[in-house]
């Protein structure tokens, strides 16, 4: 009898083990297989949220098939206590284990709203955007210039959101004075900037920052990035360049930056100025003259006068030989590359061609023809503007 009881107990134990193994295999499969989510969503983990609350919300949002399996998987993998506050983009059919990894590993929000403080040559603009999960693209919610516009209510409300992301973006060609003045108006930054950094020492880039970050620390980060880029590219520079130091290459890069906004033209523009130097010609570039007038503090807003082109200043390259004493803006990496690895050409002239780019020439005769073509385009644009067809070209 006892032998029969023991045999039955063993059989039952084996059945229980088999069933448990089956349940475990089923749970593991459910935890790792494609999830039920049909469209991308932005999922928010609130501060202090428990695993139970998050799992139930995920189930109600259609991101997981079973909140219990999600919790068990989190416990089993040792990640139950690792939830990170923030907003996260969950793609369709994401498995539970990947969702858990997203919510526990980085703590870096991947969707939600973002403020981008864009510093350009003409102005500084605050842009509040929100990620559209369906397209994975940011959609503009509000936009304003803190120097002249009232602060929109949408921005005021969003600024209270603790997982709002903040970004500072410097356009290529901004001056150090423009950067400092703009950062002083960024209400989400803290601290002071004691002095305007050396011209050219700041790297145009998009910097992610924390609310309350120190302005001085951000400036230091911009300087470190520019210094690292310049050192790297200087070590890879082409042979035979006329620069005596990386600082001289930085000056040339700033001139190239201000002369063209077309990335593909930068190395060709650099070759023009280097060809002029090799032939003993003056650089004769308007942006240096303008910098001598404005000192980088704002935009000239008009054309250069003949008297300004004839006046001898350290920055008037129509009068002085060689390059000006300092950079005239903060050049981006592409302009640094252009100055240190220019195209090989025989061009010594260039002028606008009406398309946003330039027409290049080797001889004065060819250049004069290109100038005549540009004057004709300008005249046509002015006539069209007078007739209300298009906006007048900027000076």
Q: How far apart are CA 338 and CA 331, in angstroms?
A: 11
Has residue 268 got a pLDDT over 80?
yes
Q: How confident is the model at residue 394 (pLDDT cuts 50, 70, 90)?
A: very low
pLDDT > 70 fraction of the chain, expressed in percent and rounded: 91
pLDDT of amino acid 393:
44
Query: CATH 3.30.1490.480 occupies which residues in the chain?
Result: 29-111
As a whole number, mean pLDDT of residues 206-221 equals 96
As a whole number, mean pLDDT of residues 64-82 equals 88
pLDDT tens, residue by residue, 361-388: 889 998 888 888 888 887 877 777 777 7
pLDDT > 90 fraction of the chain, expressed in percent and rounded: 53
Has residue 181 got a pLDDT over 70?
yes
- 354 and 374 in contact (C-beta within 8 Å)? yes
As a whole number, mean pLDDT of residues 215-224 equals 98
As a whole number, mean pLDDT of residues 131-151 equals 90
As a whole number, mean pLDDT of residues 74-93 equals 86
pLDDT tens, residue by residue, 311-333: 989 999 999 999 999 999 999 99
Burial annotation 354-373 (CB, 10 A radius, 16+ → b, else e): beeebbbbeeeeebeebbee
**Burial bucket for residue 226 (CB in 10 Å: 0-12, 13-18, 19+):** buried
pLDDT of amino acid 4:
55
pLDDT tens, residue by residue, 245-261: 999 999 999 999 999 98
Has residue 5 got a pLDDT over 60?
no
Q: How far apart are CA 355 and CA 377, in angstroms?
A: 10
pLDDT of amino acid 395:
39
Residue-averaged pLDDT of the chain: 88
Q: How confident is the model at residue 9 (pLDDT cuts 50, 70, 90)?
A: low
Radius of gyration of the chain (CA): 31
Q: How far apart are CA 143 and CA 1, in angstroms?
A: 86
Q: How far apart are CA 280 and CA 262, in angstroms?
A: 27
Distances (CA, A) of 354 to 10, 301, 373: 90, 20, 9
CA 34 to chain centre: 34
CB neighbour list of residue 253: distance below 8 Å, 6 or more residues apart:
200, 270, 327, 331, 335, 336, 338, 339, 340
Of 213, 116, 127, 212, the closest CA to residue 166 belongs to 116
pTM, rounded to two decimals: 0.79
At residue 258, the 3 state secondary structure works out as helix
Phi, psi of 82 (to 5 degrees): -105, 15
- HSE toward the beta carbon, residue 19, CA cutoff 13 A: 6
CA 249 to chain centre: 24
**CATH class assigned to 29-111:** alpha beta
As a whole number, mean pLDDT of residues 20-47 equals 74
């Amino acid at each position: 009898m006892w032998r029969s009881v023991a045999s039955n107990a063993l059989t039952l134990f084996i059945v229980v083990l088999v069933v448990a193994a089956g349940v475990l295999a089923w749970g593991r499969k459910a935890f790792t297989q494609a999830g039920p989510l049909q469209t991308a969503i932005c999922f928010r983990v609130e501060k202090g949220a428990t695993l139970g609350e998050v799992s139930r919300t995920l189930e109600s949002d259609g991101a997981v098939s079973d909140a219990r399996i999600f919790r068990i998987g989190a416990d089993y993998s040792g990640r139950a206590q690792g939830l990170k506050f923030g907003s996260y983009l969950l793609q369709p059919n994401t498995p539970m284990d990947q969702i858990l990894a997203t919510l526990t590993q980085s703590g870096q929000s991947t969707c939600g709203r973002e403020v981008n403080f864009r510093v350009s040559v003409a102005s500084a603009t605050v842009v509040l955007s929100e990620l559209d999960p369906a397209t994975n693209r940011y959609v503009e919610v509000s936009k304003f210039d803190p120097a002249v516009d009232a602060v929109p209510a949408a921005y005021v409300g969003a600024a209270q959101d603790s997982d709002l992301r903040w970004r500072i973006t410097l356009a290529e060609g901004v001056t150090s004075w423009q950067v400092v003045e703009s950062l002083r108006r960024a209400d989400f930054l803290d601290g002071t900037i004691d002095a305007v950094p050396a011209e050219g020492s700041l790297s145009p880039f998009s910097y992610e920052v924390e609310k309350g970050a120190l302005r001085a620390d951000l400036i230091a980060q911009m300087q470190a990035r520019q210094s690292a880029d310049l050192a790297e590219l200087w070590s890879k520079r082409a042979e035979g360049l006329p620069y005596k130091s990386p600082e001289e290459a930085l000056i040339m890069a700033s001139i190239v930056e201000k002369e063209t906004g077309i990335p593909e033209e930068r190395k060709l523009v650099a070759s023009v100025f280097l060809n002029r130097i090799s032939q003993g010609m003056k650089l004769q570039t308007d942006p240096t003259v303008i910098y001598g007038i404005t000192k980088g503090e704002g935009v000239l807003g008009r054309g250069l006068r003949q008297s300004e082109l004839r006046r001898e200043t350290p920055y008037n390259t129509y009068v002085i030989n060689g390059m000006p004493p300092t950079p005239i803006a903060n050049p981006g990496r592409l302009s640094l590359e252009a100055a240190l690895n220019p195209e090989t050409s025989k061009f010594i002239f260039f002028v606008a061609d009406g398309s946003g780019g330039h027409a290049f020439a080797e001889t004065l005769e060819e250049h004069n023809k290109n100038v005549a073509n540009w004057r004709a385009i300008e005249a046509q644009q002015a006539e069209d503007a007078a007739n209300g067809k298009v906006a007048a070209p900027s000076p």
